[in-house]
Structure 1
């Protein structure tokens, strides 16, 4: 317009100068002024026309004439007129003049396409034309949805997707979003073909013609209806990708659209996905490959239920690409499809599409349609193996340590919510092209922020890497691909994508498992013997059986090689989620394998290389450094994190662990020994991210880690065994059985020797016995079904040749018997018996009799079943403690006690006779009132036996005196029968 204004001014000056002498020149100049002013008038006229259309002041019948006028103006070379023309066309699509016939629709779109592809158009005109076409397509398909009376907002993935700080958050958000669409999806599935329609309205036909032409243009052909011979394939494919992701319901309900999708669009994408030949032109450009993969992702995520064969082909091709010798950027693009939400950090609005590893509904559908179908390919298993293969390759990469450090940095930044480090200076060792640079980047005609990550490598070199998903790919392409910094950043990006993909699968399985049992995660309060047989449960079990080994191998590898706190915690969350799912589903082998792997990370035994390079930490004593390296035990903060996860699993799966308790208990016993071992040290590891707690020196001391572990084990272990009071009774039995099994395993080989191995075994037995007592004490309210488990093991332990173990068993038996007799439950039984409540007497007496006899009888069994003097003496000491503390509560077990003491009187060992008589004196002096009347005769007989024994004269004389005491008690009972009888009854 500025040029036109200057030209008009010059023509006016010429006309004024030639007005008198050269009238012909004057007339020519004025005629030219009129032509020049036509551009300005056109702009004004188009503005007026826009206002009229926007206010519905134009009749629909005038649309054909308006489009003809706009076509003429679009051919004008003036930029302002072209821009006004594009604005007017967009307003037409937004108004009541929206084209309703093929001719008008094709002409309106043709005008925009002509301006887009015209080489003489300016950049602003081409950009505006592209934006106008995108908006026009959206308006056209919105109109189709409205006219065809289709549900609004169903299935479309539109909108901007933000990236959460963890894979768990992505899965939860995915589930919430998919729940909103589930009802309509269920309706389509349940009603099947009855909901789909063959016939189309006029608007539907127009949309179909547009879709067919866009597909042809994306394939490199010509658009017959739009009268366009060629169009940038990238632009056409971008429009198709937008339609696929935002108008799913059209393809779900309208059969003609579904046919175009199946036969034309899928064929286009399959051809474009091929990698076995050199692709020329646009098809070989990264931006085109990216769009192809995004479109494939939409089809798999949104249409897998109806396009089963096509999705199988797509998934097989994607999995194959990950193992081919292709550029790293290409493989990363595919990994982006196979993992969780596409963006690693920010700029989620740049490429708003989902990967489908965290799409629980999608993954479920894929597994049902393919892996569970014997005639189809195991595509989900293939996806997981592809992701695991990327993680496993870290073992053979020359830059593996640098890449792992970068991966740890990525996870750390994401966990903190920070995607950019404070460092802003460009490192000159990494060349940047003029198109991509630190700060801003122009992509798809839009400006976005690009963030760099500064990676500190142990060698002291600084590397630069981009953390913006596909921007990373663009950056790599514009730089020297052999550069070490680019290689490290790319490898780290690939590993991060793969790890997050595996974690996404894990959390999806866990979420589906929660749904299968219809319980709220993470607590599982139900009968452990109950098994679930629903369809979702069968699906989850099949998924676990198919995927667990691959996932475990990959995660255990990356966990063993990683030191960053954020990545370790994220992987351990995956361990916990998958282990809990296996427990709920009663998948024993995967459960035990994940538990065993998790237990391994609670304690480290250094390999030979680590031993040779080990450096004592500042907190280590000099004497400890002299210990043989084969005896050394290395502890790190990873142990604390793994231990916390192990306790979480044990708490949440206490009702279903069953025999798997042994794995947990073996680990706790080993840690208990390790923490108190003089050989325990800590491993100094340089880490690129902050640890849990750091000293001012930036390193851990032995004391801090050992103290932390000791606190973790003590508090969590105490809480775990205290919580047994709330477990199902069968779960408590399983826990006791596991403790007994652990103790029994260690009992072998402890009869002789005093070496380190024997000491460790005795330590494990001590751990087991202490925990058995703890469980018993916390379950006194239901001790009856547990008592035989406890006492049986103690009796077995008391028969061990090792003196230390025998003493341990006797102490444990003493504590257990006294704990039961001193419990509130036992006291309640005694109180009910003394109160003589008639209607409860029979049941109460039966329970009390069984409990009391089962608690006391092990002492007689212990005494009579062994020839060991110290064990027999121990059983008598326990009986003495019982009589002194709880003798007045006993009633039904006196016969067993007296018969046991009667057998002691015949013993030849003086110490045993002395202990037996001490028990008898307590009974005769303090317990006669508690003894039933029918046992008094037995009591007199036992006392007579001690008076007749010849081992100790003083005992015989004292026993005679006790007989006089008994006589006095009986006489008083005869004189005051009713009162005393009631007291003793």
Structure 2
């Protein structure tokens, strides 16, 4: 404001002052001439001041005030009013100094005692103290007493005005302290709080601290009550200290020390003032140790004293505060204000009052006891709800009490008392007694004869179709409505705000249970925020939990302290709740707490909450041993926890006597039908048999309500969102889902998903139209649950797989007793495997090993789904793109498949091994599915399986004569496809196995056509066209055209090729042909003539066409290990055939053949064979021998041709072999091994022709 403006304002004020003084002069000139004279003098002074701008009005204030004081002393209402108006003008002008202010206060005190213009007096006092900080000390005290005394007059208007004035002036006194501290304050309130939090308990007030004025505070001196302020305080703080001290004195019914003259004070008003100061000015108490001392030593003692009615002292209460005398009965106005004050102390001053708050909380918990009036319990619940919404406070409670070895577990007691309170509300109303003080019944949660009755019994209650009932809790015949709605994380008080009530209010029915319900939800919310951080509830926040070691200890204690009471209350509320939205809130709270326990690896609370969640999905009477066992374990843990706690709430919530157990069993059926009344039945099905249920025992029809399905969805959500922390609890959860799926009639389909049965007869379930549309949704949720397993880490995934395997094992045990098993676990193992193929090494062996066990089960449906799962998994894994996963899939990022599947031998072997192990199963239906899948694999991804051919060929070759014609045909289809399409892709090491596999089909006896075709397949490797087998030419061309490639790739691997004695250095390529010749030789003596003939022709043609590819030394092996042994077998078989044909009892007259190794040269042995055959009784054999001898003699006379690699021609090429021929004694030995082989071929051919018409 500019100087000229100030001058103008001052001039106007002086002019108005003159006018008012003139009015006062006119009013008093007749009756009070001395006042008139004083007014005139004052007018002159004011006029002089207005004419001299340099003079100050404050210099003449005393002269102006003098007639005003005189006027007030007249006690004439009109004159006093004028006088007070002039005083107010001076006060507003700011010209009243400390000395003048004392005169004003004295004048006002006189008017107060005289009862004149009381409202104007209050108005003047307010102006004086709010605008003039110079009024301090005694004057300030007198002004405050003046207002207090006017508060207790009989005029209601004055009382109300005085009440407002007192509140305002008390605040003004503390505002002065804040203003006084502002320029010199160097420590923020937050820093002060931190210092107090770090102060060890028990040391509060025992040391010297620096006070507000810079001196050392001696708390021993402060303990002595005095009217003198501490020397360490500045003036404004000193006044506030003395005023606050007297307020406590007055509430405690003691004489004031500074507010002298105050003769009466109501405790309710005093508590309101204390609460107002403590609520508004916490900085003063944190910044000044003197005020902190008042708080600890005086206020807390007062609170504990006022708590005492009907509450016994605790042993831990300090002796200094055990001086109160309990009153006869609690008084609502005081109890309500006391709890408001306690709420402020705990919320705003907890760091200063750690020990005292322990006492407050312990006493407040007692307010929830069953013998308390309901209004008292309601007030305590409102305070507890305020505390429950503050995560930092709960964290402090746990740190300072529950974690200390010898302290009361306050947080645990709070939660347990809430649990016991909730349970007590649902006790039958007949056994409850009226509350004290007319505040409503204890058990029913309200007043009136209708309290606790079911809705059908309440007059005017809208029930029936089309009516939306009020949200409520209905349990064991007790009906309690949910009568308030409070937003999550906020506290809303009703009865703590009833400052105008003198009598206890009637608590509405259901108010107690409603508040307890919100308290429980907010406790879980706060614990969640403590653990996961303040942003945990914001959308998109991370669920990563990585605490320090100290933080983890606190979090574990929070969960351990809270879970028993929470579980006791929430299970009852969940069962009793009739409202869908409230049920959803309870279910989310249970999920949240279970996940928090899971993150901390606290298995007992986690499993207990998951068990509660699972039980809510099933009807009350449903027998499920695994859930009952989990409940017993939880009860035992809860009982142990309650024994270590000062509260017995959990014991009441979990422990039952045998008689109570029996009573509960008797009530189960009644509760079941109770549930039907409260909730719509949406599905009726049969119970799934369990191993614990005796064989032949039948459970009745199972009815599921819409609430059961709501709980099922919550269970699915729990598993979907928190699967990573479930651990062994997966088994509980999956068992429940399996039973629900069975009841609803959902059956597994391709890929492991579940679908509703096509007919009622197929499912034995009756589904209402209300839920038919939900079945696909539930099925989709189930599938998404297992799809989400791809985001689990490896440990969590193993927990899931182990639970599914355990569940499947139970179903297998059930099926052994010829009871219908559930296929849920097998189907979901498949679904889990398919979505986690990105990390196939982690899950493949445990999943497939169990599925292979299922494949061997005698129950048809069981093994059908076992082999379906195995084959589906193998097919999916082989077609899966085993490439590096996306960055957002952290679970699979550690399982990158390099090299890719085509070049990854380890991965191919891993994936195909389960399919190969199915060959050990003897059930034909399983083998059929195996071969069908193999055929599919060959068609879809055979070109990728470079390293998997040994397993594939073993699968094909595992089919033998003991299998059905259909299986043999199916396996042979696979073999045809392999030989036709995949020989170029096959590594060389698989070629002998391919030959062996084909030979196995040649020797099998199921069907002749397949045997002949298998022989043709082998001959296709030999580049000639002597048979009518369709695939021979293509394969012959491949081997012939790729002989150089094969020679280069083959290595002498002893594990691939058999030993060929006598030829130690046989080339690998020759060994490959030797394998072929040996297998063909075996088939030449088959028991079926057609097979023998085809095998012989193939062997001879092969040697003739491709014998030139062999090395010289290999021919010795061909002779001695293939042809001569074959001649020996043929001779023996021909002898047997001729004997059977000519003389069944006769015997050959010639001695048996000399052992082969005794013959010095092959030629001699060949002649011996011819000689023996020529003397055979069989005309056909004898004739063949003579023909062979004739050809041998003719060949011996001529030149021996050199073998050529291009054809089987024996032309008349004149090739001089003199330089390459050994000199032998006998002319018939002048031959090469190739020539001998040709002769042996001819001899074998003739002998086989002789046997062609004989059945061996």
Shared fold per TM-score greater than 0.5: yes
Deviations 1:790-848 (A, max 9, x none): 211210111112121111111111211111111122899xxxxxxxxxxx999457972
Q: Is 1:568 matched with 2:624?
A: no
Tell me the residue number matched to 2:424. Answer: 393
Tell me the residue number matched to 1:914. Answer: 969
Partner SS, residue 703 of structure 2: strand
Q: Is 1:609 matched with 2:670?
A: yes
Partner SS, residue 634 of structure 1: strand
Tell me the residue number matched to 2:130. Answer: 94
- 8 Å contact from structure 2 (residues 102, 135) kept in 1: no
- After the TM superposition, which residues 3-18 of structure 1 pair with which residues of structure 2 at under 5 Å, given as runs? none
The range that moved more, 64-73 or 282-291, is: 282-291
From 895, 903, 910, the equivalent of 1:854 is 910
Tell me the residue number matched to 2:1241. Answer: none
- 8 Å contact from structure 2 (residues 193, 351) kept in 1: no
- After the TM superposition, which residues 466-505 of structure 1 pair with which residues of structure 2 at under 5 Å, given as runs? 469-470=494-495, 489-490=507-508, 492-505=510-523
Q: Is 1:230 matched with 2:243?
A: no
Instruction: List alignment gaps of at least 5 residues for structure 2.
Output: 1-26, 31-70, 201-206, 218-231, 312-323, 433-439, 447-458, 462-469, 486-492, 622-667, 687-696, 748-765, 886-895, 1023-1032, 1051-1256
What is the CA–CA distance in structure 2 between the aligned matches of 1:977 and 1:861, rounded to whole Å?
34
What is the CA–CA distance in structure 1 between the aligned matches of 2:472 and 2:722, rounded to whole Å?
40
From 867, 870, 879, the equivalent of 1:822 is 879
Tell me the residue number matched to 2:396. Answer: 365
Tell me the residue number matched to 1:63. Answer: 101
What is the CA–CA distance in structure 1 between the aligned matches of 2:921 and 2:701, rounded to whole Å?
41
What is the CA–CA distance in structure 2 between the aligned matches of 1:221 and 1:815, rounded to whole Å?
87
How far 1:297 sits from its partner (Å)?
Answer: 2.2
How far 1:582 sits from its partner (Å)?
Answer: 1.0
How far 1:966 sits from its partner (Å)?
Answer: 3.6
What is the CA–CA distance in structure 1 between the aligned matches of 2:145 and 2:712, rounded to whole Å?
66
Partner SS, residue 776 of structure 1: helix
- After the TM superposition, which residues 190-205 of structure 1 pair with which residues of structure 2 at under 5 Å, given as runs? 198=217, 199-205=232-238
What is the CA–CA distance in structure 2 between the aligned matches of 1:460 and 1:366, rounded to whole Å?
34
What is the CA–CA distance in structure 2 between the aligned matches of 1:633 and 1:145, rounded to whole Å?
70
How far 1:379 sits from its partner (Å)?
Answer: 1.7
How far 1:248 sits from its partner (Å)?
Answer: 1.9
From 510, 530, 536, the equivalent of 1:512 is 530
- After the TM superposition, which residues 374-385 of structure 1 pair with which residues of structure 2 at under 5 Å, given as runs? 374-385=405-416
What is the CA–CA distance in structure 1 between the aligned matches of 2:299 and 2:897, rounded to whole Å?
83
- Over 3 Å counting, the alpha-carbon distance change for 1:400 and 1:773 in structure 2 is farther
Q: Is 1:241 matched with 2:275?
A: yes
- 8 Å contact from structure 1 (residues 363, 380) kept in 2: yes
- Over 3 Å counting, the alpha-carbon distance change for 1:751 and 1:216 in structure 2 is same
From 665, 685, 689, the equivalent of 2:734 is 665
Q: Is 1:774 matched with 2:831?
A: yes
The range that moved more, 921-930 or 790-799, is: 921-930
Tell me the residue number matched to 1:538. Answer: 553
Tell me the residue number matched to 1:287. Answer: 333
Q: Is 1:316 matched with 2:362?
A: yes
Tell me the residue number matched to 1:957. Answer: 1012
- After the TM superposition, which residues 351-750 of structure 1 pair with which residues of structure 2 at under 5 Å, given as runs? 355-398=386-429, 469-470=494-495, 489-490=507-508, 492-515=510-533, 526=544, 532-606=547-621, 607-609=668-670, 630-676=699-745, 703-707=768-772, 709-750=774-815
How far 1:284 sits from its partner (Å)?
Answer: 4.8
What is the CA–CA distance in structure 1 between the aligned matches of 2:530 and 2:153, rounded to whole Å?
53
What is the CA–CA distance in structure 2 between the aligned matches of 1:784 and 1:817, rounded to whole Å?
13
- 8 Å contact from structure 2 (residues 473, 480) kept in 1: yes
- Over 3 Å counting, the alpha-carbon distance change for 1:231 and 1:903 in structure 2 is closer
From 271, 290, 301, the equivalent of 1:256 is 290
Name the larger-Rg structure.
2
What is the CA–CA distance in structure 1 between the aligned matches of 2:986 and 2:777, rounded to whole Å?
49
What is the CA–CA distance in structure 2 between the aligned matches of 1:428 and 1:767, rounded to whole Å?
48
Deviations 1:367-397 (A, max 9, x none): 2111111121112222222211110112323
What is the CA–CA distance in structure 1 between the aligned matches of 2:473 and 2:576, rounded to whole Å?
17
TM-score when scaled to structure 1? Answer: 0.74
From 268, 284, 288, the equivalent of 2:302 is 268
The range that moved more, 265-274 or 933-942, is: 933-942
- 8 Å contact from structure 2 (residues 949, 990) kept in 1: yes
From 323, 331, 336, the equivalent of 2:382 is 336
Q: Is 1:796 matched with 2:853?
A: yes
What is the CA–CA distance in structure 2 between the aligned matches of 1:465 and 1:898, rounded to whole Å?
74
- Over 3 Å counting, the alpha-carbon distance change for 1:709 and 1:582 in structure 2 is farther
The range that moved more, 468-477 or 203-212, is: 468-477
What is the CA–CA distance in structure 2 between the aligned matches of 1:456 and 1:727, rounded to whole Å?
38
- 8 Å contact from structure 2 (residues 871, 915) kept in 1: no
Tell me the residue number matched to 2:757. Answer: none
How far 1:523 sits from its partner (Å)?
Answer: 6.1
What is the CA–CA distance in structure 2 between the aligned matches of 1:239 and 1:43, rounded to whole Å?
30
Deviations 1:756-807 (A, max 9, x none): xx33xx22xx222222222222223222322112211210111112121111
- Over 3 Å counting, the alpha-carbon distance change for 1:519 and 1:332 in structure 2 is closer
Tell me the residue number matched to 1:944. Answer: 999
How far 1:99 sits from its partner (Å)?
Answer: 4.0
- 8 Å contact from structure 1 (residues 109, 226) kept in 2: yes
- Over 3 Å counting, the alpha-carbon distance change for 1:152 and 1:405 in structure 2 is farther
Deviations 1:605-644 (A, max 9, x none): 45322567768999989999xxx99422222232233233
What is the CA–CA distance in structure 2 between the aligned matches of 1:799 and 1:561, rounded to whole Å?
47
How far 1:137 sits from its partner (Å)?
Answer: 0.7
What is the CA–CA distance in structure 1 between the aligned matches of 2:191 and 2:253, rounded to whole Å?
39
RMSD over aligned Cα, in angstroms?
4.5
- Over 3 Å counting, the alpha-carbon distance change for 1:196 and 1:809 in structure 2 is farther
- Over 3 Å counting, the alpha-carbon distance change for 1:457 and 1:816 in structure 2 is closer
Tell me the residue number matched to 1:40. Answer: 78
What is the CA–CA distance in structure 2 between the aligned matches of 1:621 and 1:212, rounded to whole Å?
70
What is the CA–CA distance in structure 2 between the aligned matches of 1:124 and 1:387, rounded to whole Å?
44
- 8 Å contact from structure 2 (residues 74, 80) kept in 1: no
- Over 3 Å counting, the alpha-carbon distance change for 1:729 and 1:841 in structure 2 is closer
From 141, 144, 150, the equivalent of 1:106 is 141
Q: Is 1:216 matched with 2:249?
A: yes
How far 1:112 sits from its partner (Å)?
Answer: 0.8
What is the CA–CA distance in structure 2 between the aligned matches of 1:794 and 1:329, rounded to whole Å?
62
- 8 Å contact from structure 1 (residues 110, 226) kept in 2: yes
Q: Is 1:136 matched with 2:169?
A: yes
Partner SS, residue 857 of structure 2: coil
Tell me the residue number matched to 2:1203. Answer: none
- Over 3 Å counting, the alpha-carbon distance change for 1:509 and 1:153 in structure 2 is farther
Partner SS, residue 305 of structure 1: helix
Instruction: List alignment gaps of at least 5 residues for structure 1.
Output: 1-11, 16-32, 156-180, 341-354, 409-426, 430-452, 679-700, 829-839
- Over 3 Å counting, the alpha-carbon distance change for 1:282 and 1:291 in structure 2 is farther
- Over 3 Å counting, the alpha-carbon distance change for 1:117 and 1:629 in structure 2 is farther
Partner SS, residue 749 of structure 1: helix
How far 1:288 sits from its partner (Å)?
Answer: 1.3
- 8 Å contact from structure 1 (residues 654, 731) kept in 2: yes
The range that moved more, 248-257 or 211-220, is: 248-257
Q: Which has the higher contact order (CA 8 A, sep 6+)?
A: 1
Partner SS, residue 429 of structure 2: coil
The range that moved more, 266-275 or 208-217, is: 266-275
The range that moved more, 636-645 or 654-663, is: 636-645
Tell me the residue number matched to 1:432. Answer: none
- Over 3 Å counting, the alpha-carbon distance change for 1:369 and 1:618 in structure 2 is closer
The range that moved more, 295-304 or 883-892, is: 295-304
How far 1:252 sits from its partner (Å)?
Answer: 2.2
Q: How many residues align?
A: 814
Partner SS, residue 514 of structure 2: helix
- 8 Å contact from structure 1 (residues 53, 91) kept in 2: yes
